[in-house]
Amino acid sequence: MSVHTAKRRLAPADIKALKGERPIVSLTAYTTPVAKLMDQHVDFMLVGDSLGMVLYGLDSTVGVTLEMMIAHGQAVMRGSSNACVVVDLPFGSYQQSKEQAFATAARVLKETGCSAIKLEGGAEMAETVHFLTQRGIPVLGHVGLMPQLINTTGGYRSLGRNDKEVDKIRKDAAAIDDAGAFAIVIEGTVEPLAREITGAVKVPTIGIGASPACDGQVLVVDDVLGIFTDFKPRFVKHFANLAPLMSEAFATYAQEVKARSFPGPEHTFQLKKG
Protein backbone atom coordinates (compact mmCIF):
# COMPACT_ATOMS: atom_id res chain seq x y z
CA MET A 1 0.00 0.00 0.00
CA SER A 2 1.30 3.44 -0.91
CA VAL A 3 1.88 5.88 1.90
CA HIS A 4 -0.52 8.20 0.10
CA THR A 5 -3.48 5.92 0.76
CA ALA A 6 -3.05 5.94 4.54
CA LYS A 7 -6.20 7.44 6.04
CA ARG A 8 -5.52 10.88 7.38
CA ARG A 9 -6.82 12.49 10.51
CA LEU A 10 -9.87 14.79 10.17
CA ALA A 11 -8.84 18.43 9.79
CA PRO A 12 -10.65 21.55 11.03
CA ALA A 13 -11.77 22.18 7.41
CA ASP A 14 -13.42 18.72 7.38
CA ILE A 15 -15.35 19.61 10.54
CA LYS A 16 -16.48 22.88 8.96
CA ALA A 17 -17.64 21.03 5.81
CA LEU A 18 -20.00 18.85 7.86
CA LYS A 19 -22.44 21.73 8.41
CA GLY A 20 -25.68 20.83 6.65
CA GLU A 21 -24.40 17.29 5.96
CA ARG A 22 -24.82 15.45 9.26
CA PRO A 23 -24.58 16.18 13.00
CA ILE A 24 -21.02 16.65 14.28
CA VAL A 25 -19.95 14.39 17.17
CA SER A 26 -17.50 15.54 19.82
CA LEU A 27 -16.43 14.72 23.37
CA THR A 28 -13.70 15.98 25.63
CA ALA A 29 -10.68 13.71 26.08
CA TYR A 30 -7.74 14.13 28.44
CA THR A 31 -5.78 10.87 28.41
CA THR A 32 -4.28 8.36 25.95
CA PRO A 33 -6.36 5.29 26.87
CA VAL A 34 -9.67 7.17 26.72
CA ALA A 35 -8.66 8.83 23.43
CA LYS A 36 -7.95 5.35 21.97
CA LEU A 37 -11.42 4.11 22.88
CA MET A 38 -13.10 7.27 21.53
CA ASP A 39 -11.08 7.91 18.36
CA GLN A 40 -13.30 6.09 15.84
CA HIS A 41 -16.54 7.45 17.29
CA VAL A 42 -16.05 11.21 17.25
CA ASP A 43 -15.24 13.84 14.63
CA PHE A 44 -13.14 15.85 17.04
CA MET A 45 -11.84 15.47 20.57
CA LEU A 46 -11.61 18.54 22.73
CA VAL A 47 -8.84 18.63 25.31
CA GLY A 48 -11.00 20.88 27.48
CA ASP A 49 -9.83 23.03 30.36
CA SER A 50 -12.70 21.30 32.20
CA LEU A 51 -9.87 18.88 33.04
CA GLY A 52 -9.07 21.23 35.94
CA MET A 53 -12.40 20.36 37.55
CA VAL A 54 -12.75 16.79 36.28
CA LEU A 55 -9.18 15.48 36.76
CA TYR A 56 -7.53 17.88 39.21
CA GLY A 57 -10.35 18.71 41.65
CA LEU A 58 -10.21 22.48 41.09
CA ASP A 59 -13.51 24.28 41.73
CA SER A 60 -13.32 26.24 38.47
CA THR A 61 -11.27 26.24 35.24
CA VAL A 62 -9.47 29.48 36.20
CA GLY A 63 -6.50 27.68 37.81
CA VAL A 64 -5.70 25.52 34.79
CA THR A 65 -2.20 26.14 33.36
CA LEU A 66 -0.83 26.01 29.82
CA GLU A 67 1.56 23.24 30.95
CA MET A 68 -1.43 21.10 32.01
CA MET A 69 -3.14 21.67 28.64
CA ILE A 70 0.00 20.78 26.69
CA ALA A 71 0.68 17.60 28.69
CA HIS A 72 -2.89 16.36 28.18
CA GLY A 73 -2.91 17.48 24.53
CA GLN A 74 0.18 15.32 23.94
CA ALA A 75 -1.49 12.38 25.71
CA VAL A 76 -4.63 12.65 23.57
CA MET A 77 -2.63 12.95 20.33
CA ARG A 78 -0.78 9.70 21.22
CA GLY A 79 -4.10 7.90 21.58
CA SER A 80 -5.76 9.10 18.36
CA SER A 81 -5.27 8.85 14.61
CA ASN A 82 -8.75 9.54 13.18
CA ALA A 83 -10.35 12.40 15.10
CA CYS A 84 -9.36 16.04 14.86
CA VAL A 85 -7.85 17.18 18.18
CA VAL A 86 -8.60 20.66 19.53
CA VAL A 87 -6.93 22.00 22.69
CA ASP A 88 -8.52 24.69 24.93
CA LEU A 89 -6.36 27.72 25.69
CA PRO A 90 -6.50 28.19 29.48
CA PHE A 91 -7.51 31.37 31.33
CA GLY A 92 -4.81 34.05 31.23
CA SER A 93 -2.92 32.60 28.26
CA TYR A 94 -4.62 34.58 25.46
CA GLN A 95 -6.80 37.46 26.73
CA GLN A 96 -4.06 40.07 27.12
CA SER A 97 -3.40 40.64 23.41
CA LYS A 98 -3.64 39.00 20.02
CA GLU A 99 0.15 38.59 20.12
CA GLN A 100 -0.06 36.73 23.44
CA ALA A 101 -2.80 34.53 21.96
CA PHE A 102 -0.69 33.73 18.89
CA ALA A 103 2.39 32.84 20.94
CA THR A 104 0.35 30.58 23.22
CA ALA A 105 -1.56 28.90 20.38
CA ALA A 106 1.61 28.36 18.33
CA ARG A 107 3.25 26.70 21.33
CA VAL A 108 0.23 24.39 21.74
CA LEU A 109 0.29 23.38 18.06
CA LYS A 110 4.08 22.85 18.01
CA GLU A 111 4.36 20.95 21.30
CA THR A 112 1.25 18.74 20.98
CA GLY A 113 0.84 18.28 17.22
CA CYS A 114 -2.86 19.09 17.49
CA SER A 115 -4.45 20.98 14.61
CA ALA A 116 -6.58 23.65 16.28
CA ILE A 117 -7.18 25.55 19.49
CA LYS A 118 -10.34 26.77 21.22
CA LEU A 119 -10.72 30.04 23.08
CA GLU A 120 -13.66 31.54 24.96
CA GLY A 121 -14.99 34.92 23.91
CA GLY A 122 -17.31 36.91 21.69
CA ALA A 123 -16.96 40.31 20.01
CA GLU A 124 -14.05 41.24 22.34
CA MET A 125 -12.02 38.24 21.01
CA ALA A 126 -12.93 38.61 17.31
CA GLU A 127 -9.76 40.53 16.41
CA THR A 128 -7.68 37.80 18.08
CA VAL A 129 -9.53 35.03 16.23
CA HIS A 130 -8.91 36.86 12.93
CA PHE A 131 -5.21 37.37 13.81
CA LEU A 132 -4.71 33.64 14.52
CA THR A 133 -6.69 32.28 11.56
CA GLN A 134 -4.83 34.61 9.15
CA ARG A 135 -1.55 33.22 10.51
CA GLY A 136 -2.21 29.51 10.18
CA ILE A 137 -3.96 28.64 13.43
CA PRO A 138 -7.47 27.20 13.10
CA VAL A 139 -9.71 28.48 15.90
CA LEU A 140 -12.81 26.92 17.45
CA GLY A 141 -14.90 29.70 19.02
CA HIS A 142 -16.83 29.41 22.29
CA VAL A 143 -19.75 31.73 23.13
CA GLY A 144 -22.69 31.77 25.56
CA LEU A 145 -21.78 30.43 29.00
CA MET A 146 -18.03 30.96 29.34
CA PRO A 147 -16.70 29.11 32.41
CA GLN A 148 -13.45 31.13 32.48
CA LEU A 149 -15.56 34.22 33.36
CA ILE A 150 -16.88 32.67 36.60
CA ASN A 151 -15.26 35.39 38.72
CA THR A 152 -17.18 38.17 36.97
CA THR A 153 -20.40 36.30 36.16
CA GLY A 154 -20.70 34.66 39.57
CA GLY A 155 -21.98 31.27 38.45
CA TYR A 156 -22.73 28.73 35.74
CA ARG A 157 -26.19 29.87 34.59
CA SER A 158 -27.93 29.22 31.28
CA LEU A 159 -28.21 32.33 29.10
CA GLY A 160 -30.46 33.91 26.49
CA ARG A 161 -33.50 34.47 28.69
CA ASN A 162 -33.71 38.25 28.23
CA ASP A 163 -33.23 40.73 25.35
CA LYS A 164 -29.86 41.94 26.66
CA GLU A 165 -28.37 38.43 26.84
CA VAL A 166 -29.89 37.42 23.49
CA ASP A 167 -28.52 40.51 21.77
CA LYS A 168 -25.03 40.01 23.23
CA ILE A 169 -24.72 36.30 22.38
CA ARG A 170 -26.14 36.85 18.88
CA LYS A 171 -23.50 39.53 18.25
CA ASP A 172 -20.75 37.40 19.82
CA ALA A 173 -21.50 34.44 17.53
CA ALA A 174 -21.65 36.66 14.43
CA ALA A 175 -18.32 38.32 15.34
CA ILE A 176 -16.52 34.98 15.83
CA ASP A 177 -18.05 33.65 12.58
CA ASP A 178 -16.88 36.72 10.64
CA ALA A 179 -13.44 36.50 12.27
CA GLY A 180 -12.84 33.12 10.62
CA ALA A 181 -13.40 30.43 13.27
CA PHE A 182 -13.95 26.97 11.69
CA ALA A 183 -16.81 26.19 14.13
CA ILE A 184 -18.34 27.71 17.25
CA VAL A 185 -19.18 26.04 20.57
CA ILE A 186 -22.38 27.42 22.08
CA GLU A 187 -22.62 26.61 25.79
CA GLY A 188 -25.59 26.88 28.17
CA THR A 189 -27.94 28.79 25.88
CA VAL A 190 -31.71 28.48 25.43
CA GLU A 191 -32.94 26.64 22.36
CA PRO A 192 -34.51 29.52 20.36
CA LEU A 193 -31.27 31.51 20.43
CA ALA A 194 -29.09 28.47 19.61
CA ARG A 195 -31.40 27.72 16.66
CA GLU A 196 -31.26 31.32 15.42
CA ILE A 197 -27.44 31.47 15.64
CA THR A 198 -27.10 28.08 13.92
CA GLY A 199 -29.19 29.39 11.03
CA ALA A 200 -27.30 32.68 10.86
CA VAL A 201 -23.62 31.67 10.93
CA LYS A 202 -21.58 30.16 8.07
CA VAL A 203 -19.80 27.61 10.27
CA PRO A 204 -21.11 24.71 12.35
CA THR A 205 -22.35 25.33 15.89
CA ILE A 206 -21.40 22.72 18.49
CA GLY A 207 -23.81 22.72 21.42
CA ILE A 208 -23.28 21.86 25.07
CA GLY A 209 -26.48 22.66 26.92
CA ALA A 210 -27.60 24.53 23.79
CA SER A 211 -30.33 22.22 22.42
CA PRO A 212 -30.53 19.79 19.49
CA ALA A 213 -30.83 22.77 17.10
CA CYS A 214 -27.01 23.03 16.92
CA ASP A 215 -25.01 21.45 14.08
CA GLY A 216 -23.23 19.14 16.52
CA GLN A 217 -22.88 18.24 20.19
CA VAL A 218 -20.04 18.05 22.70
CA LEU A 219 -20.03 16.76 26.30
CA VAL A 220 -17.44 16.20 28.99
CA VAL A 221 -16.32 12.55 28.76
CA ASP A 222 -16.40 11.95 32.52
CA ASP A 223 -20.04 13.13 32.50
CA VAL A 224 -20.90 10.76 29.63
CA LEU A 225 -19.31 7.84 31.49
CA GLY A 226 -20.83 8.74 34.87
CA ILE A 227 -17.40 9.04 36.51
CA PHE A 228 -17.74 12.72 37.46
CA THR A 229 -20.61 13.04 39.92
CA ASP A 230 -19.82 16.20 41.95
CA PHE A 231 -22.55 18.03 39.99
CA LYS A 232 -24.81 17.20 37.05
CA PRO A 233 -25.93 20.10 34.86
CA ARG A 234 -29.36 19.70 33.22
CA PHE A 235 -27.68 19.15 29.82
CA VAL A 236 -25.65 16.14 30.99
CA LYS A 237 -26.74 12.58 30.28
CA HIS A 238 -24.85 9.69 31.85
CA PHE A 239 -24.54 7.20 28.97
CA ALA A 240 -22.93 4.79 31.43
CA ASN A 241 -22.70 4.69 35.22
CA LEU A 242 -19.09 3.84 35.91
CA ALA A 243 -18.80 5.44 39.37
CA PRO A 244 -20.54 2.59 41.24
CA LEU A 245 -18.66 -0.02 39.17
CA MET A 246 -15.35 1.62 40.11
CA SER A 247 -16.28 1.81 43.82
CA GLU A 248 -17.24 -1.84 43.74
CA ALA A 249 -13.91 -2.82 42.14
CA PHE A 250 -11.96 -0.90 44.81
CA ALA A 251 -14.03 -2.45 47.60
CA THR A 252 -13.53 -5.99 46.27
CA TYR A 253 -9.78 -5.43 45.83
CA ALA A 254 -9.48 -4.16 49.42
CA GLN A 255 -11.47 -7.12 50.71
CA GLU A 256 -9.32 -9.67 48.81
CA VAL A 257 -6.03 -8.12 49.91
CA LYS A 258 -7.15 -8.17 53.55
CA ALA A 259 -8.35 -11.78 53.18
CA ARG A 260 -5.07 -12.75 51.39
CA SER A 261 -7.17 -14.19 48.53
CA PHE A 262 -5.46 -11.73 46.14
CA PRO A 263 -2.88 -12.21 44.71
CA GLY A 264 -3.65 -15.85 43.86
CA PRO A 265 -1.26 -18.49 42.48
CA GLU A 266 -1.98 -17.30 38.92
CA HIS A 267 -0.70 -13.82 39.86
CA THR A 268 2.42 -15.08 41.61
CA PHE A 269 5.93 -15.71 40.20
CA GLN A 270 7.54 -18.96 41.35
CA LEU A 271 10.98 -20.42 40.68
CA LYS A 272 10.69 -23.30 38.14
CA LYS A 273 10.87 -26.71 39.81
CA GLY A 274 13.65 -29.22 39.08
Ligand X SMILES: Nc1nc(=O)c2c([nH]1)NC[C@@H]1CN(c3ccc(C(=O)N[C@@H](CCC(=O)O)C(=O)O)cc3)CN21
Task: List, as residue ranges, the binding site for Mg(2+).
Answer: 49, 88, 120
Does residue 49 touch Mg ion according to CB under 5 A? yes
Q: Specify whether 196 is catalytic.
A: no
Q: How far is the CB of 50 from Mg ion (least distance, A)?
A: 5
Catalytic residue among 99, 127, 165, 187: 187
Name the minimum Å distance from CB 234 to ligand X: 4
Q: Is 213 helix (H, G, I), strand (E, B) or coil?
A: coil
Give Cα separations from 130 to 111, 136, 138, 141, 226 (angstroms).
22, 10, 10, 11, 38
C-alpha 116/C-alpha 139 separation (Å) is 6
**1, burial (CB in 10 Å: exposed 0-12, middle 13-18, buried 19+):** exposed
Query: Under rule CB under 5 A, which residues in 75-94 are in contact with Mg ion?
Result: 88
Shortest Cβ 42–ligand KIV spacing (Å): 13
173-211 in b/e form (b: 16+ CB < 10 A) is bbbbbebbbbbbbbbbbbeebbbbbbeebebbbbbbbbb
User: First-to-last CA distance in the chain?
Assistant: 51
Judged by CB under 6 A, the stretch of 30-38, 42-50, 67-75, 230-238 that binds ligand KIV is 42-50
Residue with the closest Cβ to ligand KIV?
A: 48
Q: Could you tell me what percentage of the chain is helix, strand and coil, using 3-state DSSP and rounding each to the nearest 5?
A: 45, 15, 45
Q: Which of 10, 15, 38, 49 binds ligand KIV (CB under 6 A)?
A: 49
Q: Compute the least distance from the CB of residue 147 to ligand KIV, in Å.
A: 7
Name the one range near ligand KIV by CB under 6 A: 43-51, 65-73, 172-180, 262-270. 43-51
Binding-site residue positions: 49-50, 88, 118, 120
Contact with ligand KIV (CB under 6 A) among 208, 213, 214, 227 = 208
- Residue 220 as a binder of ligand KIV (CB under 6 A): the answer is yes
48 is a site residue for Mg ion (CB under 5 A): yes
Q: What is the largest CA-CA distance in the chain?
A: 85
Listed residue (114, 113, 117) closest to 104, CA to CA: 117
Q: How many residues bind Mg ion (CB under 5 A)?
A: 3
Q: Tell me whether residue 50 or residue 112 sits nearer to ligand X (CB atom).
A: 50
Binding site for ligand KIV (CB under 6 A): 28, 46, 48-50, 88, 185, 187, 208, 218, 220
Binding site for Mg ion (CB under 5 A): 48-49, 88
Active-site residues, by number, are 187
